[in-house]
Structure 1
Amino acid sequence: MYYELINDLVTLVKQYEEGAGAADVKSFNTWLSLQLGSKTIDAHSEPEWSGKASGRSADSVINTSLVHLYRYAKSHAKTAIIESSFSTPDDFIYLINLVSLGSMTKTALIKLNVHEKSAGMQIVNRLINNGLVEQEAMENDKRNRMIHITANGRQLLNERMHEIRKASSRVTEPLNIQEKMDLIRLFSKLEDFHASKSKTELQTNI
């Protein structure tokens, strides 16, 4: 009878807990009111933005915001590597990919980070020279190399992870957990589209 309601409440409590909310009914009720209030906003209503009255498009606003957010994120990331052996934020991003996804070819690692080959090779070579990753020749493809993170690379990454996480949280700081989930879905949709389009264009040019 009330099973669906109970399931919905359990889901909301989990979301509230992930947001590090206080463990009392009053705080949960305040949070729930804000959540439910945000759902009443007309899904088809448009936000205001600078230049809208003079014809500036939503596409223009989104593209500009993405560029600005990238610069903010890059600035925060730089603070995470101050007084460390990392030269750029790309260094630790490559290492995080290797830890999360395992060893991979040099080509795959560069493509994963959406870098041009020349820029990606500079990053990989820098990591190799600093002893943070190592490369291994592939028997079936002598032109490519498998990249592995070294013990030194893991140690350096672990030493800086607290600062890296702090930098990441600063970028999304004003968003609640539901807004973060919504943003992940939207960004994933955009990334999947462009990754698929890029792959199709590459195959067409071969």
Structure 2
Amino acid sequence: MGISQGYLYVHGSISSGNEPSSVFSGNFFQTGAASSPQIFPPCTCLLSWNSSADTISGQRFFKEFSTPTKKNDALLFLLLLHMSQSELSHILHTETNSASLSFQILEYLQTNHSQKITSASLEEVFHHNFDYMNRRFKQYTGTTIFAFLEKYRIEQSKKLLKSRQFTIAEIAENLGFCNAFYFSRVFKKHEHITPREYQKS
């Protein structure tokens, strides 16, 4: 669909101050063969500029583009397209940061699995709310933070059990479990046998 086949209507307001900003929203109305205009979803965006540094002020913006001409339609369409691309770039940047945070948490859990790890300690390390971290972690790993930590500890315990160099109590302590009984219960939940049975198998 060419630009000449429709109009892009934009409206907004300008705030006063040294650095005025305007909020604009617009719809592209398609005209042509259809009996009635087709209204595309509205696009809302925020413009900010410094009037002392920019050649165009908010007042001039409205004066320049208030007349619906093909040129203005095209320029406004490109303006909103540029803003949509900027918003997409922001979303991608946010997602990249979320993935990076999840990887950092995973690496921290693997490195410190023998230590006591709590939601409060993770918040102190990563400076994020635990619920937020947990959601992001699950988004990228498919499991929650503590479910991953528990499974990772069990996998490490299996190696230690097979080495036959440590008692079950020592393994439990070395892997951050509060006691041997709790370790045995968690181990059986995952492996369906007790640590001692696994060690003998």
Pairwise same-fold verdict (TM > 0.5): no
Q: Report TM bin, short chain.
A: under 0.3
Larger Rg: 2
Bigger proportion of residues as helix: 1
Which protein has greater RCO, CA pairs closer than 8 Å, 6+ apart?
1
**What TM-score does the superposition give when structure 2 sets the normalisation length?**
0.24
